[in-house]
Each structure stands twice: as C-alpha cells, then as structure tokens.
Chains A and B, each alone.
Chain A
C-alpha cells in the first residue's frame, strides 16, 4: 500500500469520525460505564426497559422540541398537550353518555379509534393555535407556548373533574403502552422485544427524518433556523412554515399523551407536565442549537436515549434522585461544551 492511499484512507476515517456525532460515543460510553457498575444493567430486559421508558416519556416529545428549536422557537406547551390529549383519550374511553356507552359495548375498537383521533386532533388544535398566535403577533414563542401550557393543564383538570380517570377492561388500549408484538420468556417474566410504544416512536422519527431531509418543508425549517430574514427574502413563507412546525409539534406530543394514559391505565392532569423541559434537554444534547437550524431527528433520538439511559442507569446503581439531577445537569452542560469545541476545531 503506498503512502498516498494510506493517507487518503486515514482522511476517510477522519471524515467518518467527524460525521459521527460525539453523542454516539457518549451514549455507548455511558452504557459501558453503567454495565461496569451494575451486573444487571446490560441485560435484554433492562435494555428494553430503557427503550420503553424513552418512547413513553421524553422520546417522542423530544422530536417536537427539536422541530421548534430548529426553527429558532421553543415549545413549552408540549407537557400540557401530553396531559390534555391523554385526558381526552381517557374521557372518551370511559364517558358515561348513551352514545359512547353504546359504541363501547358494540364496537370497542371503533371507540378506541375515536379516542385516539380526538387526542391527536386536540394536539393539532393546540399546536395550530400556538402557530396562529405566533404568526399574527410578534410575541416570542416561549411566552405564547407557556400560556398555552397553562391553558392545556387547566382544561385537563376540568375534564378530570379533580380526580384520576381510570380505564378498566379495555385490553386493546392497554396494549398501546404496555404491549409488544414479539415477546421472549426469560425465567418467569415475558420481555417485549417489539414494544408498540417503541414502534410508534421509531415510525415518527423515520417519518420526520424523511420530511426534514427530502421535503421542501424540511429545507425551509433549516433555512429559517439559519437566517430568518434571508429565508424570507428568498421567498420562503416563513410564517406558514413556523405555523406548521408548531402544528406538527402538537400532534407529535399527543402521541405521548395516548401512550402515557395507556401505560398508567389512567389519566391524571399531572401526567406529562414537565416533559417539555426533558424534551428540550434531549434535543440540545442531541446537537440542536437554540439559535436554530442545526441537528436532525436521528441526533435528537440519541439525545433522548442518553437522558433515558442516564436516569435508568443512576437508578440501577442506586444513586439517590437528588444527586442524579446534578449528574444530568453536568452531562447536559458538558455535552454541549464538548460539541461546541469539537465543531470549532473542525471548522477552523
């Protein structure tokens, strides 16, 4: 092998090394780290546990956070949308009015479809209200969405009537949050290898990876994130694009609401509140910049996995929750710092 091809090969390697986000190394480093400290960490059942925790919590919300951040906004209403959409699902499934009771008795699958559709429609409605207000006024997105968060939370409380709505006797619905298409029996436990919540999460990520890469909408979002004014000057309808970002964000968050309610087989107005910040943390760890225009859905998923791996790992090694937050905070800051330094080096 002559020196020239060796050099070009080295360059290719370096090229690939720079193409792999630092977070991938961090994710594997963490898994290795926790595996060394706990012999029960690296097992099939725990890996599936982390994935289910991710897909029914921060995982899907992070995608919505990423979309908002990518277009230089921030969506704080996501936790509220999770709460409200989950509550609407539960209400419809248990509503004691003749129409719904009849459907429940005759055709539970149809009722389930109505409930899920209504939840996603509610997410879309809230998201589109966010988008409309942002389009019509010059109020920063964090204020509009913060207000919307409170509105959602209150609606959710009103629907709940100050209690928890419990769902009994609808195994098909419970399957969304707790079920799996493929199970293995390990000892006395049956471990799901293809949990429904994971499939929903992956489908959403694959769909939005395609949207962001291949469609005009994706290009517009990155353009707005890069520079809003030049995007507008080049003829992009920035108002409509932003509106769509928040609309899709609301619909994405509604999926988490449905999964949440199904997993707990009950809906409480508190469910999901606070997830919006986990979502932002995941998107930022994944590589999104608050100034917009960076990162991809795939990187965001890695960010969400890192947060889930950390929370589960610290529990597995028996670290108290108060100290966990210090660790998670440190990792958040460290990852962003390392990423910034790494990029600076690359661009020089």
Chain B
C-alpha cells in the first residue's frame, strides 16, 4: 500500500470514528432514549465532543515535541471534526432548543456570558474551517499561520463557556478548563522562550 493511500484510508477511518458519537447521540435522541431532558443532554454531548476534538487538535504539536510521535497530517481532520461538532452543537441550540426564536437568541448572546463565549468560540472556528484546505493554505501563505493561531482564543472561550453553563463547580468543566489552560500555557511558554533567545545568525 502506498503511503498516500494509507493516509487517505486512515483519514477516512478517523472521520468515521469521529462522527460515531454524534450519530449515536442523535439516534438516542430521535428514539427517545436520552432520558428526562434530552435537549440538554444532546447539547451537552455535542458540546463536550467539540471540546474533546479541540483538545486533540491542540495536542498534536506538544505530542510531537514530547514523544516524537507526529500526527501532524491528521491535525486538519481533527480541527474539522471540532468545527463540525461545534456546528451541530450550535444548530441544536438554535433549532431544537430555541426553535429559531431569534429574539431570545439575540438576547442570550448579549446578556448571557456563557452564550457570548460560546458564540465567540464558534465565530472563530468558522474562518478557520473555511481556510483549512490546501488552496487557502497556499494562497494565504504566512497569514495562514497567523490566522490559525486564533484557535487558542477559541479554545479558551470554549473552556470558559463550559465552566459558566453549570450551576456550581462540578468536576468535568474544571478538568477541561485545566487541560486547555495547560495546553495554552505550553504554547505561551514556548513562544516566550523563543523570543528571549535571539536567532543564531
């Protein structure tokens, strides 16, 4: 098997596996097996999977630096899975939960910090997803990397969004927040070290 073919097969497999949780949770939802508050459960599951794929995307670089294992070729797939889950999460909120009650949704965006942070994260992911193809990478050149650094802000906003949606301080949102914080601190640390050490001529 050629290397290119193997990559394409693995990428396809990653998509299939990646979408499985969404297919499963929608199946449970439409067959009325999601318990007492299925809309909330659906939103939460899709939201948590968005955050998981976002974390997986951000893990690719540190994983390579620390262990030498490079999943760089799958990072785009992980990033796109993040976006698709965010889109499903957003659509569920708009269509199933609020039934396109745009007035209520607009009020939510302005007045509710957790919705504001969620919308911010989603708004950032849209241009990143749109510019994720080879053509856009080539066309944007150096600007592409700069644009895609916004993913860090999206990750921070998503983690805060999860933290703000719950009533007290349950464990899960804190754990996700901590993971995102560590990943961002790792980036920031690298960035600062690089700046302090002048490039060797």
- Same complex for A and B? Answer no
